Structure formats: structure tokens, C-alpha cells
């Protein structure tokens, strides 16, 4: 067994234009003051990291690491969630997702997709230069508009979609393999990889690529009414990253999983600050420790009610208190009678 590393915090939801949230140095000092030991860094804001530069310059990567380490923290992983989304976009979402790319690539889906792919290649090399072994992203989605279709899907549509998704991601997975980094898909509503079945379909199409791994976030499974504990049993060998995020699902006679087009505040399923939702984190941390989870416990804060700074302040001790320092001996060792092969045979009548 392994003791999970942490607590760490994903910076994406906290970045802003006012101190201490407007520079890598100041936001790291803030995170450290709350008790965090690591930061997961998004890669779409050059104030925090220039992804291309980190890929092309080991010196620059070392400078970024130095800023983080000066605050007493480690970089846990980089994130390309937004760029990964753009690797595969159904035309129905072209205008909505254009905002994820620089203005130069907007209104040009082909150029935008090529930019996103290049970003992932930069992320592989940047992760290597930073000494990281895992990376967070989204799969994107060609099929999401057909997730619950009317009229019915044409025969073969899903297979065609996953074949194309695999075609786009296989060269990226190979690039991560060359850099010795696991590419961890956050299984998430809105992505073609949104549950265990879709992940398995993708794995089949990429020939079970060793770098096609998972970022485990139980909050997304609460909202899908999926067994998030059995998910760990099924996929623990592929789980290399962990977002500690809470959620609740309170269906009524008026709405359920789909939420009736309501705001986050008024949905039956909504994300919550740690400890305010329904996720059984004691069971999750126990399972991950038992399965030798190799990574960090990283707070991802999303809540429609609580202030983010309060969520961050409460998140560090919550994670710390849930991390299990694993034992190196059995609890009943005191009653052991030693090891003797002949004695064992005698007891068995052999």
C-alpha cells in the first residue's frame, strides 16, 4: 500500500486579476498559507506558465518549478482540460467552444483543432521537463449531442465516432509515452469519455494504450447515479490522478439527472464544497490506498453556494484528515507465533 500525497489544489477556479490570484508566485504563497503541499497548474494563462516555452526550454521549466518550490510546494500535474476539449468538437458546439482557443483560431474549426493537438504535444514535453509523470485533460466529444437521442441514432454512428476519436488521440498518446507521462482523461459529462463503458470503448479503439489513463473525480459520478466506489475496483490500475470534489444529487418529482435546464443552484445534481455533499470520501481514500494509488489528492473546488476562498480554506484540512498513513505491519502481529514450515505442516497433518 501507499500513502496518498497531498493535500494539493487545482488552481484553475481561483485564478483572477487581483492579488494573490494573479501570478504564480502569489497564488502559491496563498495556497501554502492554507496548508496545501502541491498545486495543479492549468496551462491556458501565460501569467502562470507558458506551455510552449516550458516544452522547449528546460531552463524555463526549472524556473517555474523554482517559483513553486520557493513557496514550499510541488507541482503535482499540469492540465490541458480546455485544449483537450478542442481535439474533438461536434459542429453543434463550434461557436460555444471557440472561446477556449486564442482569437487567431476562432471561426476555423480545423485550425483550432490543429492548435489543440499541438498544445497537447507541448504538454507532454513540458511535463517531462518539469519531472511530472501524469497529466490531466478532457477527451473532447464528437458524439455528445447524441447521448440521449431522438430520433434514434443511425446504425454505426457510435462506432464511427469512437474510431475517429481514437485516430485523433493515438498520436498524442504516443507523444506522452515517449515523454514517460500518463495522459489522464477526466471522465466527465460533456465528453465522449463520460463513464466506464465509454472509457472501455475508447480503450479498445486505442489498443489499450498504456498511457490512456484516468483522472478520478467522484463528483461526476454522483450526478450520473454511477457507483463511484465500484468504479475504483474496476479501473484502479488506470487511475493515476484524483480530484477531490464533492457533489449531491437530490431528485424530486419535478427534476432528476437532466436538471430541467436549471442553473447550478437549482439543479437536482450539483457540485459542492468538500464535506457539504454526499460523496463517501472515507471509502474512496481507503480504496485508493489499498490499491496503491501513486498520485496526489487534489482539491478541485466547484460549488454554487459557498465562497471559493472558504472552500479552499476548508479543503486543505479536509483532505489532510482523509489521507491514510498506511501501515507497514498487521494489527495482530503481536499475537504471531513466528514462521516455521515444518510446524505449519504438522498443524495440517502433513
pLDDT (tens digit, 9 = 90+) per residue, 295-305? 999 999 999 99
Residue count (the chain):
350
pLDDT (tens digit, 9 = 90+) per residue, 228-277? 999 999 999 999 999 999 999 999 999 999 999 999 999 999 999 999 99
Dist. CA 76–CA 68, nearest whole Å: 11
Domain residue spans of the chain: 5-347
pLDDT (tens digit, 9 = 90+) per residue, 112-129? 999 999 999 999 999 999
Dist. CA 340–CA 333, nearest whole Å: 15
CATH 3.20.20.150 fits 5-347, yes or no: yes
Does residue 142 contact residue 113 with C-beta atoms inside 8 Å? no
Report which of 191, 179, 180 is spatially closest to residue 215, judged by C-alpha positions: 191
pLDDT of residue 311: 98
Parallel, antiparallel, or unpaired: how do β-strands 239-244 and 296-299 relate?
parallel
Dist. CA 337–CA 65, nearest whole Å: 50
Amino acid at each position: 500500500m501507499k500513502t496518498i500525497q497531498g493535500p494539493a489544489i487545482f488552481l484553475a477556479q481561483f485564478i483572477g486579476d487581483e492579488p494573490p490570484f494573479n501570478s504564480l508566485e502569489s497564488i502559491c504563497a496563498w495556497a501554502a498559507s492554507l496548508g496545501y503541499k502541491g498545486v495543479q497548474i492549468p496551462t491556458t494563462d501565460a501569467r502562470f506558465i507558458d506551455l510552449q516555452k516550458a516544452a522547449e526550454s528546460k531552463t524555463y521549466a526549472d524556473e517555474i518549478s523554482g517559483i513553486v518550490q520557493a513557496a514550499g510546494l510541488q507541482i503535482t500535474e499540469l492540465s490541458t482540460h480546455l485544449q483537450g476539449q478542442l481535439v474533438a468538437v461536434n459542429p453543434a458546439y463550434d461557436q460555444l467552444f471557440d472561446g477556449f482557443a486564442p482569437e487567431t483560431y476562432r471561426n476555423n474549426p480545423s485550425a483550432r483543432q490543429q492548435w489543440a493537438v499541438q498544445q497537447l504535444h507541448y504538454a507532454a514535453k513540458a511535463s517531462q521537463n518539469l519531472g511530472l509523470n501524469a497529466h490531466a485533460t478532457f477527451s473532447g466529444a464528437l458524439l455528445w449531442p447524441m447521448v440521449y437521442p431522438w430520433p434514434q441514432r443511425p446504425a454505426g454512428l457510435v462506432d464511427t465516432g469512437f474510431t475517429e476519436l481514437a485516430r485523433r488521440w493515438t498520436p498524442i498518446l504516443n507523444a506522452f509515452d515517449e515523454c514517460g507521462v500518463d495522459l489522464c482523461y477526466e471522465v466527465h459529462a460533456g465528453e465522449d469519455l463520460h463513464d466506464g463503458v465509454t472509457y472501455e470503448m475508447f480503450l479498445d479503439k486505442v489498443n489499450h494504450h498504456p498511457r490512456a489513463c484516468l483522472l478520478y473525480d467522484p463528483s461526476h459520478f454522483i450526478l450520473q447515479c454511477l457507483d463511484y466506489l465500484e468504479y475504483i475496483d474496476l479501473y484502479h490500475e488506470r487511475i493515476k490522478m484524483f480530484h477531490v470534489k464533492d457533489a449531491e444529487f437530490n431528485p424530486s418529482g419535478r427534476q432528476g439527472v437532466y436538471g430541467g435546464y436549471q442553473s447550478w443552484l437549482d439543479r437536482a445534481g450539483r457540485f459542492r464544497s468538500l464535506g457539504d455533499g454526499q460523496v463517501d470520501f472515507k471509502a474512496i481514500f481507503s480504496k485508493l490506498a489499498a490499491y496503491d494509488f501513486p498520485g496526489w489528492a487534489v482539491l478541485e473546488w466547484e460549488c454554487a453556494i459557498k465562497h471559493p476562498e472558504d472552500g479552499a480554506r476548508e479543503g486543505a484540512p479536509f483532505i489532510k484528515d482523509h489521507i491514510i498513513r498506511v501501515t507497514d505491519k498487521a494489527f495482530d502481529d503481536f499475537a504471531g507465533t513466528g514462521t516455521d514450515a515444518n510446524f505449519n505442516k504438522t498443524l495440517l497433518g502433513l
